[in-house]
Amino acid sequence: MINHAALLAHDILSRSEWLLGIEHVHGPQAVLLGEDDVVLVCLLRDGAPYIEPFLRHHFALGVPHVALLDNNSTDDSIERAARFDNVTILKSARPYKYARYLFKDYLVRRFGGTAW
């Protein structure tokens, strides 16, 4: 049986990726989480000095997976975050000023699922 809701959701995410110019850089493209799991989604730009302590802190709190959307970093933020296996990194060059709400909505729709 065809799950039309799932097809619609996939179509919306695919169109959002195209519209926002989102590219997958590192980590799993899909994450299976239970209803009681927490996923951390975060926008990132030039956070190299902070990204590793930020990720370690949240993993220590019990967050099983982090999804980062890098927006035009000029430092080595992506490379530092890619050292962690349970991090998915996406990137987009679209201007934050115009796409900030779309970026956030995209991350929640793609990685939120039924998790917190």
Query: Could you read off the pLDDT tens digit of each residue along the chain, which spans 116 residues?
Result: 666 454 444 455 666 665 688 999 999 988 888 778 888 999 999 999 999 999 999 999 999 999 999 999 999 999 999 999 999 999 999 999 988 989 998 898 888 876 66
Q: What is the pLDDT of residue 9?
A: 47
4-112 carries CATH number 3.40.1390: yes
Q: What is the pLDDT of residue 109?
A: 86
Q: What is the pTM of this model?
A: 0.84
Got the DSSP string for 38-101?
-EEEEEESS-HHHHHHHHHHHHHTT--EEEEEEES--SSHHHHHTT-TTEEEEEE-S-HHHHHH
Q: What is the pLDDT of residue 75?
A: 97
